[in-house]
Structures are given as structure tokens and as C-alpha cells.
Amino acid sequence: MSDIVTITPNPAVDVSTTVETIVPVAKLRGTTQRRDPGGGGINVARVVSRLGGDVTALYPVGGPTGLLLKQLVDNEGVASRTWTTAEDTREDFFVQERSTGQPYRFILPGPALTDSEWQAGLALLAGMDPFPRFVVGSGSLPRGVPTDFYARIADIARARGARFILDTSGPALAAAVAGGVDLIKPSLHEMRDLAGGELSDAAAWETAARALVASGKAGTIALTMGHLGALLVTSDRVLRAKPLTMVPVNAVGAGDSFLGALVARLAAGVPLENAFRFAVAAGAAALLRTGTALCDPADISRLVADVQLQTA
């Protein structure tokens, strides 16, 4: 059994293309065409696999899109454990406007899961034997799935002695954190929601993260802050990473690349500081790829030496 298992309750087939200019009414003819398996946990698994990690992706599949998703995951060399839904797996659509470089992201809602369908996902995870050392929950919850879905996964992981790592948002994140999570990777928006108020500068973000760790609700917080860099907070230290100087091609997949690299290195026994440095490089590497390609290991290796960390 894999060291790392990711679970993606609302996966997607990600379709991406580029057009010269986006205008209304006219036919916009794409100049490229790409399909990738998508959804937070699947993306994390793709990155872990590229970095040589032992990973299995858990996710629901429904209809012809679900069959295509499974094939795309197989093509990435990632092992899958799936369960079936009556409604079709969703598709998402990404368009890069060449004239401005601006990305446009169209995220569809996906299927509604019945009680028996989302419970099948929990049962699939709980029945794994041997159980993985790391469980990663990532992505939005589909319709019909209760807000405490990830909190239930945290309970399963805790009972089996595994570390649970979470990247989600809104009520699903709040519900899981209320019960305790080993590591969370919020964005600025998600951290502001957890803190329950406006956070005006980098110092305020750090204070909020420290408070959440001190409360015992999150063992570690890896806060990705875009142009402000990234922050890693544990009970005994804070690491600050400056953003790398680069011209981004694309913003899609940076967070998933960051988390996949972090988990891969932690599972390999790399010290936390080095794992964080590698994760920052992976997030930056994703900015150099078009569409939903995610990071390239060669770019990570090239960028990691440029990552500057400060210890608080």
C-alpha cells in the first residue's frame, strides 16, 4: 500500500486552451488543446508521483467523463482507487488569452452525491490495509456531501495513526480544523475566513497562523501568500519564504504543486525546513507551465537554490 493517499471528493477533467483575444459573441478558436486529470487531491498525487513518491489517489467517477478521468490518471502513472456515482464527473475549462497573458478559469459544479455515494468514499479509505502514513484531503466538496466530510476523514486518519493534511476552503475547512488537523495549507482568503476578520499585512497573517497553531486545531500551517511568498508555522518556529523573482506564465496549479512537493518530501523523511523550501520552488515552478500541466521536476531542481528562508 502507498505511503500517501489523496482523496478528492469533487474531481474533474480539466480542459485547457489558448486564444488570441477573448471577445463576446465571436467564435474563439483555440490554438492549443490539452486535457488533464484535475481536482485538488488528484493534482497533489500527480506531483507526488513525478517526484518519485509512493501515492494512491482516491476519487469518485461517474459516466463517460469519469471513465476519461480514470484513464488520464492512469496515463500519469498514478495508482487509483475509485468509487462510482450516478451523475457524471465534471469538466472544468481554462483559457489563456495570449494578447494579455490573462488566465480565465471556468469551474463547473460537478455531480450531486447521494448519502451512500459519499459514504462509499469514506469506507474505501477506512478499509485500506495497510493504512497509509499520510492522508491528503484536497478540493471542494460536491453537492450532497456534508460539511464535516473532511473532519470525518481526519478522524479515520487519527484512529489509524496517520497524519492528515488538508487543503480546502469555507465551512469544510472550518469543520475539519475544529476537530484538529495535522497540517493545513490555506490561501490568504482561506486564512482570513479562519481568523474571522480582516488581516492587513504580513505580520497580521503570521499572528493569525500562530494563534491557530497555539489553539491546537492545526499542528502546522503552510500559508501560501502569492506575491508575498509563503509562511510555515509550527508550535516552535516560523519560516518565511520570499517570493521568487520571475515572470509567471500561468497561475493554475501553484497551490497543488506546492502541497504535492511538501507531502512528497515529508513522506521521504526530509526535514521540515528543507521540505518547505522544496515546496516553495514547486509552487513557483507551476507558474512557468501553461494550462493545467502543474510543476516540472526539472524546474523545481533549478529554482530550489533561489528560495530564501527567514526563521522567526
Prior bond of 132 cis (ω within 30°): no
Exposure b/e, 73-101, CB count within 10 A at least 16 = b: beebebbbbbbebebebbbbebbbbeeee
Q: Angle CA(246)–CA(50)–CA(109) in degrees, nearest 5? A: 80
Q: Which amino acid is at 279?
A: A
What are the DSSP calls for 213-232, one per residue? HHTTSEEEEEEE-GGG-EEE
Distance (Å, rounded) from C-alpha 78 to C-alpha 8?
A: 14
Distance (Å, rounded) from C-alpha 220 to C-alpha 165?
A: 9
Nearest residue to 275 via CA among 28, 90, 53, 42: 53
Active site residues: 256
Q: Please name every residue paired with 134 in a beta bridge, in sequence order, or none if there are none.
A: 4, 163
Distance (Å, rounded) from C-alpha 104 to C-alpha 16?
A: 10
Give the list of residues 6+ apart from residue 260 with CB closer than 8 angstroms, or none. 43, 44, 45, 46, 47, 48, 51, 282, 294, 295
Q: Please name every residue paired with 232 in a beta bridge, in sequence order, or none if there are none.
A: 222, 239
